Amino acid sequence: MASSIAQLAQDLRARKASATELTQAALARARARDDLNAFITLDAGAALAAAQRADATITAGDVQPLAGIPFVHKDIFCTNGIRTTCASRMLENFVPPYDAAVVERLDAAHAVSIGKANMDEFAMGSSNENSHFGAVKNPWDATRVPGGSSGGSAAAVAAGIVPFATGTDTGGSIRQPAAFCGITGIKPTYGRVSRYGMIAYASSLDCGGVLARSAADCAQVLGAMAGHDARDATSVDRPREDYVAALSTTLQGLKIGIAREYFGAGVEPGVAAAVRAALAQCEKLGATLVDVSLPNAALAIPAYYVIAPAEASSNLARYDGVRYGHRCGDPKTLEDLYTRSRGEGFGVEVKRRILVGTYALSAGYYDAYYLRAQRARRVIANDFVEAFGHVDLIAGPTSPTVAFKLGEKTSDPLAMYAADVNTVAVNLAGLPAISIPAGFSEDLPVGLQLIAPAFHESRLLAAAHQFQLATDWHTRSPRA
């Protein structure tokens, strides 16, 4: 489905197609590309019922831009009556009794969800190889990862199955898969999108966002998703912006800071060259390129991999085999119930992060690890404040490499964690960022990351859109 959301909406209103027909086609494409393993659950019945409701609203004159557009939810958002697994054996058969806020808002816009996308278990991973339901494959090269944890969402969009997908970003889990799969992905400011009904990994870092072909498509979807929600204590009460109207803002006079730390050791030459060429294009469009420094960028990975596992240790304590989730067979004692239920229900990476987090929070180690990591977090955020005193956006490669081979890093957790080196600082600082296609290296997509001050999503989307008007990287598609 290469058409933009705006084009599909125009076709629906011109009666060139119906929402039911678009949904049937998306379901057919999803089944045809089951080799990607991008989906955990396809629900044709619910999807077609939603499409019929969308057709009725369109016939009645509904002008909502997402009405009748098929998409997929990352399987981390609770969906009333539809299985929500977080790609874990622990929740393999969990059916929520309510919808997440993101689900409610896209339902209210009459968009049509065809199912739930595969992901890293509990959003813990950078490659989508940690799923209980198996690894997702990259549509550009089936021997490579799509990125994680929103890899199923990214693969579904890149393969043309759906025009957009929801995702979550805790340390780069929207932007990195977007870069690896050659699509656009935006992580909004922390608090811009409600976390209600989004199964928690690290509560102070998790953000819901969008993966789509273009910044224009992301603007349409984020406009429907964003907004205050009283049910989420971290949701920020700010006026909703018109992201689509802001897309016309040009790059003339925009100052883009090139973060030298994002081009350091470990960045592949082909990736650096593609990103620098993309920034040169921005300069031709009127932007001014300025060298900036984020001197404490090296602290981001160690700080993140203390804070996120600590919060995961706390959040995942609820999965004990008692109230819901996986329960071991024939427990002998309460301790046996807890131990075996959690041991059987969680995968290797989830267990690793729970252990790290529990250790960091334990008596005698809290000050040495968790408290110091939180102090480092503040220092990292201050670096961005200082840089944004001189520039409007900060740029660099989304990932230091192109998509790596399946299995290449599974035996080396530290190498896997290093894949997030350019993305985790944004989450620690609570800032918005976007990854857009910027070229190719070794015939694989390269992503350009743009970072903005808090609540300046419009600036991000406009800059990305203007770049995409002048280039065609975002229109490239992998062969089926």
Output phi, psi for 67, to 5 deg: -60, 125
pLDDT higher for 61 or 89? 89
Catalytic residue selected from 18, 74, 113, 131: 74
Catalytic residue selected from 149, 153, 214, 441: 149
Residue 480: is its pLDDT beyond 80? Answer: no
pLDDT higher for 264 or 36? 36
Sign, Cα dihedral of 283, 288, 289, 294: negative
CA atoms of 475 and 32, how far apart (whole Å): 22
Confidence of residue 2 (pLDDT cuts 50, 70, 90): low
Domain boundaries, the chain: 5-249+433-475
Q: Is 173 a catalytic residue?
A: yes
pLDDT of residue 363: 86
pLDDT of residue 16: 95
Confirm if 464 and 457 have CB atoms less than 8 A apart: no
pLDDT of residue 3: 86
Average of per-residue pLDDT values in the chain: 96
CA atoms of 271 and 264, how far apart (whole Å): 12
Amino acid at residue number 236? V
pLDDT of residue 29: 97
pLDDT of residue 439: 98
Q: What is the tens place of the pLDDT at every residue in 457-471?
A: 999 999 999 999 999
Confidence of residue 330 (pLDDT cuts 50, 70, 90): very high
Find the mean pLDDT for residues 358-364. 92
Residue 231: is its pLDDT beyond 80? Answer: yes
Q: Assign residue 125 a region: left if phi > 0, alpha if psi is -120 to 50, beta otherwise?
A: left
Residues sharing a CB contact under 8 Å with residue 350, sequence separation 6 or more, in sequence order: 88, 121, 122, 124, 130, 312, 316
Give me the percent of the chain exceeding a pLDDT of 90. Answer: 96
Residues sharing a CB contact under 8 Å with residue 85, sequence separation 6 or more, in sequence order: 40, 41, 75, 91, 92, 94, 116, 132, 133
Report how far Cα 209 is from the mean position of its chain's Cα atoms. Answer: 6
Catalytic residue selected from 4, 88, 173, 341: 173
Output phi, psi for 126, to 5 deg: -120, 10
Confirm if 130 and 347 have CB atoms less than 8 A apart: yes
pLDDT of residue 364: 87
Confidence of residue 264 (pLDDT cuts 50, 70, 90): confident
Find the mean pLDDT for residues 350-367. 94
pLDDT of residue 1: 45
CA atoms of 371 and 214, how far apart (whole Å): 40
Confirm if 304 and 420 have CB atoms less than 8 A apart: yes
Q: What is the tens place of the pLDDT at every residue in 241-263?
A: 899 999 999 999 999 999 999 99
Residues sharing a CB contact under 8 Å with residue 407, sequence separation 6 or more, in sequence order: 129
CA atoms of 409 and 417, how far apart (whole Å): 9
5-249+433-475 fold? Amidase signature (AS) enzymes (3.90.1300)
| Residue 108 buriedness (CB in 10 A; 0-12 / 13-18 / 19+) | exposed
Find the mean pLDDT for residues 380-397. 98
CB atoms within 10 A of CB 45: 8
CA atoms of 335 and 249, how far apart (whole Å): 60
Q: Is 74 a catalytic residue?
A: yes
Find the mean pLDDT for residues 329-353. 96
